[in-house]
Structure 1
Amino acid sequence: MDRAPALISLCPKQLLKQNSSGRTGFRKQDSGVESSGGIYGNLFTQETAMKTRILHLLIVEDEEAHVEAIRRAYEEAGVAVEIQSVGTLNEFRAYMRNGQPDLVLMDMNLPDGNAMELLTHQPGDAPFLFLVMTAFGDQKIAVDAMKAGALDYVVKSSEAFTDMPRTVERSMREWELVQKQKRAEEAERMSEARFSTVFHASPLSISITRLKDGVLLDVNSTWEKVTGFNRAEVIGRKSVELNIWIDADQRKRLVGNMCKHGAEHDGFDVQVRQKSGEIRDIFILAEQIDFAGEPCMLTMAMDITARKRAEVTLKEAKAFTESALNAIPDIFYSFDLSGKFLSWNKTFSRISGYSDQELSLKKPTDFFSGEDVQRIAGTIERIHKEGTSKVEANFVIKDGRQITCEFTGSELKDAKGNIIGFSGTGRDITERKQAEATLRESEARYRILFEDARDGIALADAETDRLVDCNQALCLMVERDKAELVGQAQSILHPPEDLIEGMSHSFRQLKVDKSEHSLEDKLLSKGGRLIPVEIRATRIQINGRDFLLGIFRDITERKQVTEALKTSEERFRTAAENLTDVVYDWDIKENVYWYGDIDGIMGYPPGGFSRSIEGWAATLHPEDKNRVMAALESHLKGVAPFVVEYRIGRRDGEWRWLSARGTALRDDRGEPYKMVGSITDITERKKAEEEIKRNYEIQAAMNALLKLSIEINNEKEFLDSALNLLLSLKWLSFESKGAVFLADESKKTLHLQVHRGFSGELLAACSTVPFGRCLCGKAAAERTIQFADCIDGQHVIHVEGMLPHGHYCVPILSGDNVLGVINLYVREGHIQDLKETEFLMAVANVFATVIERKRAETEREKMEGQLGQLRKMEAIGQLAGGVAHDFNNMLAVINGYSEMMLMELPKSDTNYSRIQEICNAGHRSADLTRQLLAFARRQTIELKVLDMNDTVTGMLKMLQRLIGENIKLMWNPAANLWKVKMDPSQLDQILANLLVNARDAISSAGKVVIETGKVDLDQAFCAMHPGSVPGKYVVLGVSDNGCGMSKETVERIFEPFFTTKKVGEGTGLGLATVFGIVKQNNGFINVDSEPGKGTTFKIYLPRHESENGEKDEMPDEAEIIKGTETVLLVEDEGAFLIFARIQLERLGYTVLDASSPVKAIKLAGEYKGEIHLLITDVVMPEMSGRDLKEEISSMRPGIKTLFMSGYTKDIIARKGVLDEGIHFLQKPFTVQALSVKLREALA
């Protein structure tokens, strides 16, 4: 069976088995996906890589002793390694430009900078593996290094150097395992994607059925089309419930065989019943698979209904051909190259005397003997050379008699044009040969025995019209003696009524034109009998005198045969008129006689179609006419049989396919005088053949398109290759012209991407097409396929020389989004059908998948860049926050001791003013750390009543440094400004972000104006400014005279990650942060900007009033409050621990101090007295302050807690406000602040 391989090639089953443990549950197959691993792939492609090559190690370390320690460690370990070292970052960069080590051992702190920035921004084209070394066991540095990609983090020590070979080997082995896992995950993802593409895009009907109960688990869209059921109504149901199989036993045998043998089932034909009840023929393949851990049956099917119908048509045509061959009086035969008969007609059996069984065992040479055998062999050789031949030979029949036959033969070829045998006809010419022999003998005797001629012969004087001689045959014919005829006028031989001016027809014709002629006439016998004769008359000279010679042949018998033939023809005409085919009889000199419904085939009323050969030829299709006429001429010359298929144009314009056969009848000279044959309408058969061919071409095109979508990464290159593929389909494309447009939905326009055959005006007109304009724009606007079989009248641009044509315009859709349009030129009059439309929709779906995938990849790359920038800013923020945190711890000690000294010294002391300056400097430093924490967004968010003028004034110096000296900062505070209630750090963030944007908008010198004001907004203002609410507001304005922004940019400036700056210069989060802060404080923002005229931001924050309606006043500084309770103090910073203990003891408290959480837990368990309060730092190496509180509280229920920290990100709750009930003290703090917080916590 030759259909199964074709089906398998259309839907490779190995692809359907690729998916693993995902949704489908098919068996996984190795996809062969590999990853090079970048520069590391060469090092770690095999487990033995480290053993088969020397490791190239680069040490970046400014301490030579450390480098030597590592070298010694490798020497003592006996590990082959090439070690090189550099001492600075600049030397490292120079080295990396010329070489690529396998691993870098990187010291974090080098003479020319910290290595963290370099490690977190490795070049994309030359990344490197590294392991970090540092002298400090800082957990944050370790975390940052690992985030940057370090294989490990090593704290420098002699033990660490000694153990370095094992550390390096372990780290690189762990890295290799991670890379292998990533490659495996990518291979699995690609496997699932390929399965999904093949399963859902395949034109084959595919279903998956659980073997144990016959429940359908999945079907594809083609299965839905073939059966008429939709997927939702069949999944989970048993296939027998759907009553699809016509032969239920056939399905039972299939399932039983599958369960028994667990093997693939060969393909076979079945009939299925659609939901509508229509019966369809399909070819089916089945195989047992493992699906979701259960044995299931994978079924793939192809709808072959059209092919089956075509086979029936072909079978009927074959039956008709056999009937026609059996009806002809000539022998018909065909045999293969070995001489075995392939077919013969009944005439062959009748004439030869052999039965069909006997003929099947015969060879052609069995019917000839002697020289005829050689003559037949020579004829076959001529057929090989000339394609056809004719020969006469004696044909030996079963009873031993020989009959003379004329045989014609031609080559028999298969569909590929290979000669597989010979076919021909044979005609019994025994009687004709005998007549020819008799004629030759007669002519020989004519000269000797005139009187013995069988035909009557008469010789008359041309001048006198008198008979001068005649032979005995003529005398016998007219029943007269020779003496009665000689000397008489020639008219004596003819009936008087046939004479013209006393002369017969033949005599008169010779008298007039003196040319030889032949005609039929009648003679009159003496007894009055009319004898039909054929007269051949000619003028001869004897001794210079003209005589007329006439030869008279009695054709009485022939006339009788002619009459019989007419009767036979009448019967033939009656039979032909009742056939479905048309039989023709062409008198080559005159008209064609049609028998059958030729008028119906040609679309004419009865008797309306032409009876001339010219009229028939005028209906031939222009592409077929020369071929058909050449075949007809070749047959009339006796070169080849007339068997041809061609198209004719009906009267109504429809083209139909006909198959014509015919045989020329020839006279004694071999000249054709008549041709008879039959014509069959094969339009439906041709349509079926074209449909099958088109289905295969569609499948091949889809396979090629899917292959392109996988192999080509560039979007435009894919579109170009895919368009070429579509234009190669001759039944679809016209002049190989077409284009692909991509859509800009925001502008409602299509933009030409690739094209074929566009130039000049057409190319210019189609470069940009608005939605709704022409067919392409209409396809985009309406999101449906647009088709027109003739588009000439709708063209905006008319290009000279453009042939009439139509269009397919197919939208490329993703859900409701238009991605583009495919435009194809089709022939004028092209007929749209469902199969074609479905194919183009499937093509558009592949286009959409590729376009979306390419855009997703581009978007992913863009997001990765933004994420990298965000991480960089986060790292800088972490650095700033960490510095501020550590600085706060030191400031707490400095400020604390200076305040204690001021409290102990009298103001008259000469050192009092000096210590006062130290204290003031410490407070200013604390303000600086607060601003650093605001930048890092690590500041605790606590709402305070602010005078905005005072707050801004305090920030002016920092803001001036932020924008630079070339930009003038102007400050215009409003008088009697209302208060606002917000976190001061949030106001810092607002001003910092707005001024950075203003600075970036000013190309060189310029100015920035900060101003404040107050306003009472009414309903009219709010109606014109969406988002605003009526009420009283404090206004903060920031203006610049920079480049300004367009309206489109202004509409998007508050979107996260939106930025107009170059890559790497902005995160796009600044204004988004400002917007969030303002909204959090129930305010709103107005932006006024024009390109070239600068930008003004106005921020409206609600006025704050106290509950009694009065303005809030800043509280007076609290006095020092002492206590007597016992407190447990936990702080990992030694200097601060000592300072805090002194402060607490001076305030009257009993202090239990611990330098770590573990010691604090031990102390709390051992102390026998009551501990009233736990004072703990938030961030500590062993345990966080929160966790320590939980441990101590479980041991001593009821104990109170006071948290303290340099920054407090770890204890911030939702919306940035401290959790209710938590007592917190920000480092550094004053003695007064400490005393107040202690009493609050103990209350």
Structure 2
Amino acid sequence: MPASPPWTEAERVAALQSYAILDTPTEPEFDDLVRLAAEVFDAPIAVVNLVAQDRQWFKAETGIGAREMPLDVSICAHAILQNDFMVIPDTRDDPRFAGNPLVTAQEGLRFYAGALLRSTEGLPIGTVCVLDRSPRPQGITAHQRLVLEVLARQVMTQLELRRALGAQQERAEELRTQMEQRATVEAALRHTEERLRLANRATNDAIWDWDLVTNHVTWNEALASAYGHGLDAIETTGEWWISQIHPEDQNRIDHSIHNVIDDPLAHSWSDEYRFRRADGDYASIFDRGHVIRDEAGTAVRMIGAMLDLTEQQRTRAELAESEERLRLATQAAEVGFWDVDVIHDILTWPPIVKRMFGISADVPVSMRDFYEGLHPDDREATSAAFAAACDPVVRGLYDVEYRTVGKEDRLLRWVAAKGRGIFDDEGQCIRVLGTAIDITERKRAEAELRELNEGLELRVAREISERGQAQDALRQAQKMEAVGQLTGGIAHDFNNMLAVVIGSLDLLKRRLGDTDARAERYIDAAADGAQRAAALTQRLLAFSRQQPLSPEVLDANKLVAGMSDLFSHSLGGDIRLETVLGAGLWRTHADRNQLENALLNLAVNARDAMGEGGRLTIETQNVHFDDRYVSENFGVPPGQYIMIAVTDTGTGMPAEVIAKAFDPFFTTKAVGKGTGLGLSQVYGFVRQSGGHVKIYSEPGQGTTIKIYLPRFFGEALEAPRTALKDLPLGDLQEVVLVVEDEPTVRQFSVEALNELGYRVLEADGALAALRLLDAHPEISLLFTDIVMPDINGRKLADEAKRRRDDIRILFTTGFTPNAVVHNGVLDPGVELISKPFTVEQLAAKMRSVLER
């Protein structure tokens, strides 16, 4: 609960009543304030709200259309109780307004910000507030709060002025009462008439005298001279006067003047409005009048004068607009004005010109500062130009460019100055006025442009050469991409077919058991051929960068060192192996098995290139690719990489062989000595891992192949550990939903899972799978292909997780372009088994996923 305020409600209401503001007409001063508040906050509603004892009353409002509301729906009343600035980003989140119909309605008030109106004694009497029918969770800015608080102070200033005017009127009333006590009403009237007569003769203001009893208005001659209304052509009534007021001001003036007339205690009236001239234009008027009453307090006469503000307002507006244009123009152009009083040798510089001479804004200056600030090489020509501008005979135009040496900072600047002399009637130069602009940046740009033009021919030649290299590299990359798409598609189809072959052979072998040794040999031979075909498709997928990878954080130095024995056995005794491992090598994020396979492929290729023996060197180091290197090697972002280089002393390769080295099935070996997929597999794996491969080779000089893999930033994650058992079986209580669009692959998966003891449901697509998920809440695991028509496996898994957060997911694929988000690289926690797979692999993977 908020603390009790340091005032009573009676004290607060008394403070409000002391301003005599309740139920007064609208006034432009307050209307302008609420319009400004609404504009600053971009809000549909803004109010100057006064909280009385039994109601809240609006002195000014926009967006409401009413002047008061009951207190039981008031939001501002809570600001009064809070006794502080109040912001409510969303009123529906505030329990204080849970039952407020202004808040709970369909288009109810959702946002509120209000600053308190405080009397001089510090008592809150109301608020200046803005409201919105939409919530604003961000609240308001410090600038908006300051604006609202300033507007609140402006409202109180207006109220204090009203109260002061009331006090002044009360003092005038006391004086008038004393005068009435000393003389009769007739004497007072004669005195007033005499003053009016003198005023009519002494002023250009239109003076009016309104006999309230007869409704007759007498005007002086200024009505005709100032506004064009001839005295013999007008109706001398109060209605005629009101009818000449602008339609938008008529009701307000009529009400305000009659409020004064009808109030026995009121004697003075003043207001501003637009008054129609005889030609139809409107003049801006400040009108003020004095009410004369009889002994009973009834108004019998009112005398006033109209002051024409039109010219004054126009002049003020034009001057303000001119000054603003000049200020904005000079600021935008960074132009400085200067003025030299030649007679008294006085120099006037604004801060912007002082800055051009390296002088602080508050430091006084003289002509000596001007001459001493000029660069020695420019001093003579600049001084001569200034002297010519002062010469009564020459009267030259001062238009020069010179360098300055900063008095305080010693910086060199360029300045462009223009000016001309002002001469008196006798031909003597009395002043020289002008402008100065800092053109240092322009001069620097001109120098750079000259330098650029001087070397343009050389740069153009270099650009042409680099562009040719880039185009060659782009064409090669496009060729490799096209071949990759072809091989990836072929591998995908092979994997689906091999999944059926390998799986069916596996099931057949389990069914036959040991009953037929010859049949078992046939099955083993067929399975071996199918596995070798599967390995071939994996190489094709590696080249096309569509194989699923399982990356981990690697230390390439440890990986190379751990492969030393494998390298030695593969190379033979005629080749000497050397490793040069870089100190402080960064870590990388890659598939360990694929990287080991890539290095082994390169080592075997190097061995075959060194038929009579030689030396194989494996080197690691940290490298950084800059923008220039990237521009010559498409597909590689700039940054930090680790490099693994494999160098041999073999026969080397000519340029035409290097151009085709990564193409699938391209080989220089004899028939039967190689598939031509070794280097293409290395290329595909490295590019899929976000890296780059480069070949450096010359015939007879050996070959170096460099693998670049991106540096890993972050903490290493432990690879998931799973314990595999021999053919772990399932339980009929564990229900598996198989989703596969290839019928033969789906049939094998269903039969294999049935063999393993699982209860299996099957679907040929995502829509059918979702219907089964809804109908069978007992489903434990979703086993789905990734690449399917219409809805792919990843989207199916997301929808299944949305419906059943506890369901386990196992993906399978023969080819995965972007199937698991990161271009074929698995997210942490995503489980996948690649086609083709054996029953043993499926059994182990099922238990790993279900028991995780």
TM-score past 0.5 threshold: no
Say which one has the larger Rg: 1
Report the TM range for the smaller structure's normalisation.
0.3 to 0.5
TM-score by length of 1: 0.26
TM-score by length of 2: 0.36
